[in-house]
Chain A
Amino acid sequence: MVLAISKGNMFKGLGITVKEIAAQAVNIVRSFAIGLGIGFLPGMGAGLSNLVAYSSARNASKTPEMFGKGCPDGIWASEVSNNAAIGGSMIPMAALGIPGDSTTALLIGALTIHGLEMGPMVFKNSGNVVYLMFATVMVCALVVLVLQALGMRVFPLILKVPYHYMYPALIIISFVSAYVDSSSLYKCGMMLVFVCIGILMSYGGLPTAPLILAFILGPTLESNMLKSFQYSGSAATFFTRPISCVLMIIGILCIFSPLLRMGMERMKGKKGD
């Protein structure tokens, strides 16, 4: 075994060598930091971290022209940041009760059903559950490492399964998930309704992740907003406190930014003429 390690062939037969992993050390650390940072931001999730880490790896590479042609640096960057974002998104989830992405939003929903309210008090009220979650994430990382190392050559074969066999399997998994929660077919019916809503949203180009975030954060937002009104007696308090004011301005700008951008583009066009 020592001989095998010294030759960099410990993983021979698994599709990767120690030498290859060592060559990606800087890329791994950079992508990990990007994934963790973006995962921490509410609503961003793994989708954005993939792109940012990939772009960073391409910018740092000596051969950026090889990206998009099977260059391993790009795959390492996007996959490392993807996994790091999961850990990052759990930080605001546990500490603030704000989901980092749609997965943690669903996790918060599941924990709420079981009577656990995420937020600063969760460490005091249900500390054992939080530390259990952190421990689970660490164990999961090891399990995933072993499974991926062993199944690296097998898992891509799932993409070769024809869709008409894949659909029933996926639908059954969805059915079982909806059914086991309450042993009621009512939730399967609700699942079907939300499938239709999802299709309509996709047709209209509306992303579904903000809807899930709003569904999870809605009650917290409403109760805290009512508390703020009761403490201050007017809506002005949201604009007189500096942090709140900045966040409100950002929110308002986000809503009106497409209209502002369109107006600016038209003005530029007129100036150009």
Chain B
Amino acid sequence: MKIKRDQLTGAVLILLGIVVFMMTTSFSIPITGAYPGPRMLPTIAAFGFAVCGLGILVNGTMSKKEEKVYMVKAGWIRIGITLAVIAAYIAAMTSLLPWGRGSIFPCVLWQLPWYLPFQKGICLRGWESR
């Protein structure tokens, strides 16, 4: 059975709600009527995450509409390359080349060779890119 995107989103939100709720238990000040303390708002947020996640999960399960492809594999590869290029640049500027911090030209020179292959248009979500 193929998992729908909405089901995955709902499950992640429910999980996030549980994690946030577990984290709120580390607050030592209890929730009381007179002074709810710092635990109140994160608890409401956790409840909100769980309820909305449940709604999305149920809606996604009940819906019979076919989901559109979010992005084809080639698109994910491009996103991965872009993120890796930026992460490598930040890492290099932080540790290897501290003298180059804040300079723009190395950034341009580093990025261009990686993005030049992107000039070949691919179909990402059903429409043709340039």
**A contacts with B: majority SS:** helix
Picked from A164, A196, A229, A234, the residue with its CB within 8 Å of the CB of B116 is A164
Q: Which residues of B contact A (CB under 8 A)?
A: 5-6, 8-9, 12, 33-38, 40-41, 48, 51-52, 55, 58-59, 62, 70, 79, 82-83, 86-87, 90, 93-94, 101-102, 104, 107-108, 111-112, 115-119, 129-130
**How many interface contacts (CB-CB < 8 Å) are there between A and B?**
98
Query: B94, A185: Cβ atoms under 8 Å?
Result: yes
Whether, in the assembled complex, A156 has its beta carbon less than 8 Å from a beta carbon of chain B, the answer is no
Which residues of A in the span 231-273 have a Cβ within 8 Å of any Cβ on B? 233-235, 255-256, 258-259, 262
Range for the number of chain A residues in contact with chain B: 35 or more
Closest A-chain residue to B70, C-beta based?
Answer: A203
Query: B101, A172: Cβ atoms under 8 Å?
Result: no
Query: A179, B83: Cβ atoms under 8 Å?
Result: no
Q: Cβ of B36: which chain A residues have Cβ within 8 Å of it?
A: 225-226, 229
Picked from B37, B83, B108, the residue with its CB within 8 Å of the CB of A196 is B83
Query: A167, B118: Cβ atoms under 8 Å?
Result: yes
Q: Cβ of A255: which chain B residues have Cβ within 8 Å of it?
A: 48, 51-52, 55
The complex places the Cα of A179 from the Cα of B6 at a distance, in Å, of 36
**B contacts with A: majority SS:** helix
Whether, in the assembled complex, A168 has its beta carbon less than 8 Å from a beta carbon of chain B, the answer is yes
15 further A-B pairs in the complex, CB-CB below 8 A; given A168-B107, A259-B58: A163-B118, A163-B130, A164-B115, A167-B111, A168-B112, A171-B82, A172-B104, A188-B93, A222-B38, A225-B36, A233-B33, A256-B55, A258-B55, A259-B55, A262-B62
The complex places the Cα of A218 from the Cα of B48 at a distance, in Å, of 14
Q: Cβ of B101: which chain A residues have Cβ within 8 Å of it?
A: 185
Closest B-chain residue to A229, C-beta based?
Answer: B36
Query: A192, B58: Cβ atoms under 8 Å?
Result: no
Whether, in the assembled complex, A15 has its beta carbon less than 8 Å from a beta carbon of chain B, the answer is no
Mask of A213-236 contacts with B, CB within 8 angstroms, 1/0: 000001001100110011001110
Query: A262, B35: Cβ atoms under 8 Å?
Result: no
3 tightest A-B contacts by CB?
A204-B9, A168-B111, A164-B118
